Structure formats: structure tokens, C-alpha cells
Structure 1
Amino acid sequence: MRAVGWIGVLAAVTAAVPGPAKDYADVQRTSLYVPVRDDTKLAVNIYRPASDGKVEEKRLPVIFVFTPYRARFKDKDGAIREVALEDGLALRSLISAGYVVAVADIRGKGASFGARRGFQDRTEAKDGHDLVEWLASQSFSTGKVGMIGCSYLGGTTFHTATTAPPALKAVFVGASDLDKYAFVRRGGITAQFNTRPDEPLSDDLASVPVDGDADGQQLKSAVAQHAQNTPMAALWYGMPYRDSVSAFTGNRFWEEVGVYNYLDAIQRAGIATYFWSNWHDEPTAQSILSAANLKGSKFLAGPGSHCVPPPGFDFTGEVVRYFDHYLKGADNGIEKEPRATYWVEGLDGKGGYARSDALPGANVTPMQWFLNGGRSGTARSVNDGTLGAKPDRAGADKFTVRYDLPGADYFAFWAKPMDDKGLSYTSAPLDKPLKLIGYPVVNLRVSADKPDADVFVYLDQVAADGEAEVVAFGRLALAHRKTGKAPYHVMGLPWHSGRKADVAPLPVGQQANLAIDLTPVSRIVPAGARLRVTIAGADPRQRNLKEIQQTPAPVFTVERGSAGGSWVKLPVAN
């Protein structure tokens, strides 16, 4: 099916499908501790729809959210914040539409007891399983449960699904990963995600105690156990290889938390899956692969940043319709609609949503552009290399890694242009628009004066007035350059195993090819704009940059021109 503009499709869908009923203006909340299989007590808050102060007595389906960020807590001003009463995940609207919403704190966080062994590990997944089945057995429940979440909450949703609780019928997974090693240590390099310091115990002490804990003593006892939590950044930094054994967990933890190992369980159970992320968010690359590896999955991508409800799209309506179909049996046609809905920047000159049965990155034609020399064909500055459809004369460019980088935001979910920190290669202005949907892939022919160093690649769109924005980026350590066959479908992208036996320093001065897949793009680059590839050796979003920088800084040589040089393949869509 050819992707079409969202506006026309939206009109047709709206005319055919009535919007979700919003019959319940009130909410009744209760909270309690629920023991899981090892008797650890987890704090669960339950929100039941009500009208005119009276709770709905008939059985309703349940939406479950499993969070490390406190289900219910007092903010710095003393106001009570409740995840279920906000609508970033459509939870308040789901209550209004006739769902019970349950939000639980994971073990080791919030008001729950226990200590966190790992990060989205099998213990946590089994906890999710037990709570799903407990919720399904309650008198307010029809026995059908759905889950929704984004970021960590998307991960708890995805991992719980891998345990295939019989009552779990549908999940809506936002900004999570299929392969945690390939995400957290992409290309062998840890960067922004998942490496921040853990929250202090005082944050958990700000949780509101469950109803039966009037004096807060159980909350204090629970939080005291959180002091034994495994530190997250140290966990990730301590496992450089895919098959590393963690000093904290005593096993090959990357394998334990790789969802791709458990996809058959989700498929056999018949759990419906919907994946969501946004284009200015690094997990989108993993969300597309998650959808590609689960038959029948739906996919949504908006233009925003991390876990922001997609602007210009009825996100709440989509979530409610999805669960209405799979938990209430509503014949609303959502399962028959195109598989993918995604924002295309520049569509119709501004931007809009397209719908397609093909995921972004499928059914595209790679367009190869070569990294060439400067327009003079002689020695050049770092900013005047060119991109062209044909390679020019063979040559080489050198750059020294720059560590004098601008400070990054604490949550810098997206990269900024780095053209003044390395080598840049820029195309001529486009003579006609270029539609890019999918993953750009860069091949660099390089050598270095150090046996291991990091390479960062950025694809920029440069407007006619010179304003630039990063539209895709990737990273790879020299020692992690070896590619292999992935244990899941990678849509033709290079896959770096990261296993210890495959990681090897590059002898000084020896050339090697680096295959680097960039984050996916979805845009129409307008006529007159240019595309630019920048190569650098460090990124300001690396939280441990001071610890890993080398002195003296590495010097890279990039081979360009000729068919055996360096190039980028762009995913061109019709």
C-alpha cells in the first residue's frame, strides 16, 4: 500500500468509527500491598471508574502500568502526583472510557518492598506476570488485562509480555528496546541513555503510603530495602561485551534482558502488540525492529521527543480504540487499518502523517553517495568535503578527536550538529525533493593511531540559509567493528555482535571498514537543501566522557573517493 497523507485517512476513520465513550467523570482510588511469588510485597494503586460519587460495580477490563518512578508521590511543593490521573499515557481517558487502571511500583522503588537485582530483569518480568494475574482475578475485573508504558514503563510492559500471563491480551509499548545491548552499548559505546545516577532514597520516601499504612512505617521499611538496589550505571558500564558476566548479577545479563530471546512466547500467547516512539528519540530504531519481529504488530511514530504524545495525532483516541478492540471486543476496525502510522517531516511542505502497511525502512531503494574531496580537489579544511553520486579521485582526510565539546542537557535525547568537531562532507543543493524513510547506513574506510577509539557519525540537513539540524546519527568503537548474523530480523542493517571473541583492537595504521547504521529518518528533504555527513570521535552526550578520553587524542584517517572509499546509503522512498 502506498503511504498517504494522514488527514484524508483520518476523515474516513472518524466517519466510520464512533469515538470512545466517556461515561465516567469520577474515580475511586484504593491502594494496598500485593505479594508476588517470592512474597515480596509490591505497592499497587487501583483506580476504578465512578459516576456521581458511585463506583462502577460491573466487571471491567484492567489497564496495568508498572513503574520505577513512583505511582503516587508528593512533589517538592507537597502536592500529590498520580500517574493514573495524568493523560500522557491516556490513563485518565481510559478510566473515563470504562477501564480500571492499576499502577504498581516495581520492587526496590517507590513504596514497594524488595531490592532491584537488575534493570528490567526476569525477576521484574515475573513480578509483572504475577500482578497481571492478580488483577485479572479481582472482583472488579473481567479477567482481561492490557498494559501500556513508555521508556522504562515501556520496558516493564514488554518484559511482562514475554512471560505470557494468560490474562494479558494487548500491550502498547513506547520507546523501549528489543536488544538492550545494541541499545545501551550501541556499537560498543555507552552514551546518554540508562547511565545517569540512581535517584536518592529520599525520592522513594516521598511516595504516598498505601491505604493500610497510616503511619508510614511500612513505607519506611520498604525504602530501607532499596539501599540494596543494584546501581544501574555501574551495571551497564561493567559489561563491555554482549557475553560479559555481570559482577552484580553473576550471569550474562545482556542476554537475560534481551527481549528478542522471548519473542516466541509473546507470539504463541497471541498478545497483541503496538509499538510507539518519536523520530527525535533514539529508541525509535529499536521500536521499528520490535514491530518487524512480531507478526501483526502496529507501529506509530510522531515528530516529538522522548515519550511525548505525538503532536497533531489523536493519541488518546488511538490508545482507547486499541484496547477497546482487544479487551472489550469492539468491532471498530483498528486491526484492519494500515500497520504503520508515522510523521513525515516536510510532507506537503510542512509535515504530516502517512499510513502504510510497510514499516519505515522496508521497501526503500538505497541511494549511495560517496565521501569525496574538497571542491578544489586539494588539501582541505574540515568543513569542505563533498558528497556525490560518483566517487572522485582517491584520497584521505585526517582529524584529531576533539574533547572540548559543549555541555549537553541532562536528558539530551537528540544530538546537535558537530560539523566543527571533525570531518564534514556536504552535498550540492538538491535540485528536487528527496524522500527518506528508514535507516541511513554509513561505511567508513578508516585507520587510526590508537588501537581502539570511538567513531560518531551524524547526518545533517542543511537549509538554504545555512541552518542545520541532525536528522540521524550512529556510533561504533573501532574494536567492535566485526559484523555477524543477528539472532533476530534486522531489516538488512549491519549487526555488531559485541561478543568478547569478536572484539579486537585495530592495529595502528591498518585500514578497516566500519559499517554504521544510523537512527531512522522520516522526511522529505526540500529542493535547495543540502545533506551533510560529519565524522567525530566523541559526543557531548557521553556521560563518562572525562573518564574515557585519551591523551593524546586519537588521530583518524578517513579514506575517500574511489569505490573502495567511504560512503553513505540513504533510504529513498517513492
Structure 2
Amino acid sequence: MTKRNFTVIENEWIMLKDGTRLAARIWMPEGTDQAPVPAVFEYLPYRKRDGTCLRDESTYPVFAEAGIAGIRVDIRGSGESDGVIDGEYTPRELADGCELIEWIAAQSWSNGNVGMMGISWGGFNCLQVAALKPPALKAVISIASTVDRYNDDIHYKNGTHLSAQLSWAATMLAYQSRAPDPALVGDRWKEMWLERLENEPFFMEEWLEHQRRDEFWKHGSISEDFGDFPVPALVIAGWADGYRNTPIKAIEGLGDKAKAMIGPWVHKYPHFAWPKPRADFHGEAIAWWNKWLRDEDTGAEKLPQMRAYIQDGPKPSLRREFDPGFWIAKDEWQQPEMQSYYIDQFGGLAEGMPIAGATDQDVYLKSPLDTGTASGEWFTLKPDAEMAGDQRVDDAGSLVFETLPLEKAITALGQPVLTVEVACDEDWANLIARIVDIHADGTATRVTFGVLNLAHRDGNAEPKAMEKGKKTQIRLVLDALGYNFREGHRIRLSLSTAYWPMVLPAPGDPGLTIDRASIGLALPLLGEHQRISVPEPENPDPLPKYIDLEPGETARNVVRDLTNGVTDYTIYEDTGLSQHPDTGLSTRQIRDEIWSIVDGDPLSMSGTSTWTCDMQRDNINLRTISVATIACTRDEWLISASVNAFEGDEEIFEKSFDKRIPRDFM
């Protein structure tokens, strides 16, 4: 295929019907005056000018060379767009998205067909906008997203409270506090900046006011009505990321409208993600767009419903460069056959079903509160200590059961299910289950995990207290896996009541009485499939190169004060100062985060996330420092936030607030 020439429009103002100007960066193929082209639209709050420019510049030129226009728009109140953001996936955001699609389709260079894509926020809102059925939107590509905002995002998971909620609220506070680029918006830049600083919300306040799966979370969750979803969706995720369930849920809910791909990756686009092997996302996407936006015979509609990379015994390491494994395809996804395990008389994990009527084998479990320091991040951006480490450190605080060395390999794809009878000391506790691959040398790789606030055992909309001391049957669906347990390895089931700092603790630190005789683990088998190859990108280093002015730094540490029983988990991420060679804009972001807990005292839990963001060019030197914190009492969440903004050495803005929010089975 001949590559087209194209032009880049650095900033195009799109006027909404209410008079708000949104800022767009456009990659436009040549020749549209003779032959209009389809367009792909991505819509984010992450700043096209200096936030997503690296990945945008790796993809949209390739689309433009293939005759597809790329439209990257800053959400209202972010980047160079007017206004103030009003939250996450709000009705106004989605309505603006529909209006933008209408604008794109009406342009003289457009053939009237629009696709929408994105990763994370953009992966979410392309599904959500599609569900509103704007007529010109014909297909989506959604990466690292969710169909269920309550259970598969950074806020809550089966009623447990994820620490990522603070981390992400702090991130958004930092991102939304930054100034627009004066080179694009002109003399209004400072007025726009001060308006944002004054009026931007602290997202976590709203999130904590909805601790159950209520209408707030149902909004934007397309799982509420899969049958009404109108367009084809290519749904992509990575096993190393927290959003790994979405491709399976999408094809189960959307049927033939959806195609799934799951690789070994962290939270990145597949053509530059880690661990390798990567996938040729550009080729995948262009075939998808040409089918649904041009009606070309690219075979996109004939793709297998599921393509998945089966990990073949990767070990945790300081950096996961490459995961051994193989690609498989299933033309049609069906519920997998489940292989059952139970706990035998010797305390081992054995193939078979729990024995009905077996004598109770009660064991008491109360994990140290700092069990979980090898959990890594909930969503991962780098294949280093953000990924789960060797699980032996967390297994020391867990109740573990494992098989004998496997006589033959077992290959699994799908979501495992744990059933168990437990009695709780209080109204509720957290239960965490992990499936771990034990290598011949004892190295322990976390394959998947699941978490449950026991008050949410029968659903997330109306939690109910446990009856203290009474055994209750629990069913816990773990996150999806695609994994080959090799011959000679052992499969370990690890249960704990803590998984800190990823999961914040219950207020009473209750223990659980677990009936070992009741434990059943169902592992989804791979079943019928084809081995396939998935093309890798031709360019092994697809991201553009910027000018490094000052180096970055990454550090992640666990410090245990053995005298005072305090564990601190610290994260330091400095991007370094880099300059875009074309715009001359230099930026830097520093995340400095600490989580702390005292042994035996769940109410000692605290988290503080501090962000410093710099923006420099010739005569401008802008900085914001934002701080977000969380602590708790038995009955309340205690949150605070502050933002300070500087122009040169002068502080031009400061605000702070504190809020107490009642805990609701949280």
C-alpha cells in the first residue's frame, strides 16, 4: 500500500454548541479534496501538547499514511481546551464526545465515518460514547478499559477499597492543575489556568461518596445493557495490568460484535508495551478501521473471537523484558471447562471436588497487616517493581495449599472460582485469594488474584454484615488468567485477610475461621484452540525521541521498622526534564508517594501522594505542587488535598481542603 503524505495541524479549535472551545491536534492525509477520508478520534484529559504526544506521534502519522485522519482532542478543562473538568466519564464529557463526532463527520475532508479509540480513559469513554449511539460512530478500539466501572477500575474491587483510588485522584489533581500552553492559547493562558486551579474538583471526594455499586457507577458501565451496544469493538488488554478481565467480559456480553486480544503487557499500547512479545497494533487497527470505516475486505470481521497469549512460566524479576509463552486463538468463545481442586487430608491441593459432609477442618487466619508488599501496582506502567514480585514474602502471611509437582502441564484461560465457608470475627473482613506458580527452585510467580469485602459476598449494591461467628458460604471469582503451569511445577492457592498497600484494611482487623474441608478451586481449562502467530511491529522502537535535559529516577522501597512495628511503602517516580524538539516545551513530573501502617492497628493506615509538575519554555517557568492524603477512623475516611501554583519564584495560587466521609462497609 502506497503511503500518503500528510500534514499536522498542531491546534484546531472546535467550537461546541454552548460556546466552549475544545483543542484538537489533527493528522490529515493529503488528497482529501478529491477523496474524503475516515477519521479516528481519541478524547482524553491527558494533554495532547505534552502528555500523550509521544504515543500520539507513534500512531497517528501511521494512520494518516494509510489515509485515515487522526483527531486527538483534549477534554473540556484539560490541556488547551476551555472550561473546567467536572469529573470522570460524566454526562457532560460523553455529550461533548457525541458533539465532537458530529463535527468530525460534517467536515469537508471526512467521508462521514468515524472510529473512536483509546487506552485507559480513552478506552473507557469510547465504549461509553458508543453506547449513546452517535450516528457517525461506526467502530471502536478499546484498550485497558472496563465494562464495569465499580468492579474493574481503580476505585473498588468487590467492595474492597483500592489504594489506587488515592494514587489516581492525586494524579488527576496534578494533571488538571497544569497550565495550558501559552504558545497555543495566547494571552488568555493565565486566566484559563487560574480558572482551573480555583474550580477543579478533587475526584476522590465524589468517589468516596459512592462506596456501593449505585447509579453513579452504573453510569458509563456498558455491562448494564450489553444488548443495546451498537458497533463492533476490538477490546485489548494485558495480563500484567489490572484491566485484564475486560476482553472476556466484552465478548461474553457483546457476542459477535466484539473481538478480544490479551497479551502479556502492562498498561500500554501493544506496539510498545512490556513484557514482550509485542503486537503490531498499527496493522491491527488499520485493518479494523478500513473494514468498518471504508467497508474494505480486510478480514477484520473474521478475526477469532479470542486471541490470547498464554504465559509459559515467567519468573518475577527486577525487570520483565520478555514473557515466555505462545499465542492461541478461539474462533468462538465458550464458557471453559473447569478443573476442580479440593484440600486433601494432608493439607494439599488435590484434583477433585470437596467431599460432601467431610468433618470440619477449621483453621484460623489473620494475616499481618503488611501482607501484600509484593503485590505491585494495580495498574502497571513499567515492567519493573510495579509488577508483582516473588510471592514468598506474601505467602509467609497467608494460608497456603499446593499441589504435588505436576505430572503433566495444565493450561488455563479464563476466570478461576474459589468457594469456601468462612466465619468472621466482625461484621466483615477482606478475603484475598491468589493463584501462584511454584517453580522447581521455589520461585513463586503470582498468576492471578481475587479480592472480596465479605459484606459484598451477595452483591455490591446492598452489602450486608456477616453474622459473627457463623460459617457462611463464599464464592469469589478471581481475575482472568492465560497461563501454562509446566510439568514439575506446583500450583499454590494462597489465602490472606490483608493485601496492603494495594487493598486498604478493614477497620477492625478481624480474623477468619476457614473450613479447609469446604475449599474448592475451579481452574478454567484452555480447551479447544489453535496455535497462531501474531505479527510484531516492524519498528522495535516506535516512540519518537525527545531532548533529555535532566535524567529521571525511579525508586520503590519497603521499610520495616522492627522496633516500632511500622511498615512504610514508598514510591518515587521522576520523569526527568525533557524537551519536545518541535515545540520547545520542556516538562517534568515527579510522583512522591508513601503508604504507612502499624502492625496490629488498621486505623494507623495512611497514604500521601505528592506531585510536582514543571513546564518551561524560554520566558515561562511554571510549577504546580499538589498533595493528596487519606487516613481513617473506624467510622470515617479522612481525606485532604492541596494545590500550590508558581510562576517563576512567585506563588500565584494556593488552596486546600479537608473532608470526613462516613465508611459504608468499607
The 1:201–1:285 alpha-carbon spacing in structure 2 relative to 1, beyond 3 Å, is: closer
- Please show how residues 533-548 of structure 1 align to structure 2 within 5 Å: 533-542=493-502, 545=504, 548=505
Question: Alpha-carbon deviation of 1:167?
Answer: 0.9
Residue 322 of structure 1 is aligned with which of 288, 291, 295?
288
Counterpart position of 2:16: 36
The answer to whether structure 1 residue 233 and structure 2 residue 193 are counterparts is no
The answer to whether structure 1 residue 22 and structure 2 residue 11 are counterparts is no
What runs of 5+ residues in structure 1 fail to find an aligned partner?
Answer: 1-19, 76-80, 244-251, 376-384, 483-495
The 1:346–1:205 alpha-carbon spacing in structure 2 relative to 1, beyond 3 Å, is: closer
The 1:453–1:356 alpha-carbon spacing in structure 2 relative to 1, beyond 3 Å, is: same
- Please show how residues 163-182 of structure 1 align to structure 2 within 5 Å: 163-182=132-151
SS in 1 for 2:255: coil
Which piece of structure 1 moves more, 57-66 or 228-237? 228-237
Q: Contact 1:84 / 1:101 at 8 angstroms: preserved in 2?
A: no
The 1:200–1:363 alpha-carbon spacing in structure 2 relative to 1, beyond 3 Å, is: closer
Counterpart position of 2:181: 208
Q: Contact 2:370 / 2:498 at 8 angstroms: preserved in 1?
A: no
- TM-score calculated relative to the size of structure 2: 0.69
Counterpart position of 1:61: 38
Which piece of structure 1 moves more, 35-44 or 63-72? 35-44
CA distance in structure 1 between the aligned counterparts of 2:452 and 2:522, rounded to whole angstroms: 17
Residue 473 of structure 1 is aligned with which of 449, 468, 471?
449
Question: Alpha-carbon deviation of 1:541?
Answer: 4.1
The answer to whether structure 1 residue 254 and structure 2 residue 188 are counterparts is no
CA distance in structure 1 between the aligned counterparts of 2:135 and 2:114, rounded to whole angstroms: 9
Q: Contact 1:111 / 1:222 at 8 angstroms: preserved in 2?
A: no
What percentage of residue pairs aligned between the two structures are identical? 25
Counterpart position of 1:156: 125
Question: Alpha-carbon deviation of 1:210?
Answer: 7.3
Map Cα deviations across residues 378-435 of structure 1 (whole Å, 9 max, x no partner): xxxxxxx544435476411112132124376566545452311221111111101111
- Please show how residues 30-429 of structure 1 align to structure 2 within 5 Å: 30-50=10-30, 58-73=35-50, 82=53, 85-87=56-58, 90-183=59-152, 184-196=155-167, 197-200=170-173, 205-209=178-182, 211=184, 213-215=185-187, 217-218=188-189, 220-221=191-192, 224-225=195-196, 227-243=198-214, 252-261=215-224, 263-267=226-230, 271-296=231-256, 297-309=258-270, 311-346=277-312, 350-359=324-333, 362-372=334-344, 374=346, 386-389=349-352, 391=354, 394-405=360-371, 406=373, 413=380, 415-416=388-389, 417=391, 418-429=394-405
CA distance in structure 2 between the aligned counterparts of 1:298 and 1:22, rounded to whole angstroms: 27
SS in 2 for 1:165: coil
Counterpart position of 1:557: 513
Question: Alpha-carbon deviation of 1:118?
Answer: 2.7
The 1:119–1:262 alpha-carbon spacing in structure 2 relative to 1, beyond 3 Å, is: farther
Map Cα deviations across residues 107-153 of structure 1 (whole Å, 9 max, x no partner): 23222222333311222111110001101111221111111101111
Q: CA RMSD in A?
A: 2.6
Amino acid at match of 1:567: G
Q: Contact 2:242 / 2:378 at 8 angstroms: preserved in 1?
A: no
CA distance in structure 1 between the aligned counterparts of 2:524 and 2:388, rounded to whole angstroms: 20
Residue 422 of structure 2 is aligned with which of 433, 446, 463?
446
Which piece of structure 1 moves more, 314-323 or 29-38? 29-38
The 1:404–1:333 alpha-carbon spacing in structure 2 relative to 1, beyond 3 Å, is: closer
The 1:278–1:365 alpha-carbon spacing in structure 2 relative to 1, beyond 3 Å, is: same
Residue 457 of structure 1 is aligned with which of 433, 442, 457?
433
Question: Alpha-carbon deviation of 1:519?
Answer: 0.8
CA distance in structure 2 between the aligned counterparts of 1:304 and 1:224, rounded to whole angstroms: 38
Map Cα deviations across residues 504-524 of structure 1 (whole Å, 9 max, x no partner): 111221111111101111122
Structure number with the higher helix fraction is 1
CA distance in structure 2 between the aligned counterparts of 1:119 and 1:203, rounded to whole angstroms: 12
Map Cα deviations across residues 205-228 of structure 1 (whole Å, 9 max, x no partner): 3543574x333x146426623643
CA distance in structure 2 between the aligned counterparts of 1:266 and 1:391, rounded to whole angstroms: 40
Question: Alpha-carbon deviation of 1:195?
Answer: 3.8
Amino acid at match of 1:550: P
Amino acid at match of 1:22: K
CA distance in structure 2 between the aligned counterparts of 1:324 and 1:307, rounded to whole angstroms: 23
Counterpart position of 2:525: 572
The 1:220–1:372 alpha-carbon spacing in structure 2 relative to 1, beyond 3 Å, is: farther
CA distance in structure 2 between the aligned counterparts of 1:117 and 1:337, rounded to whole angstroms: 39
CA distance in structure 2 between the aligned counterparts of 1:40 and 1:373, rounded to whole angstroms: 69
More relative contact order in 1 or in 2 (CA 8 Å, sep 6+)?
1
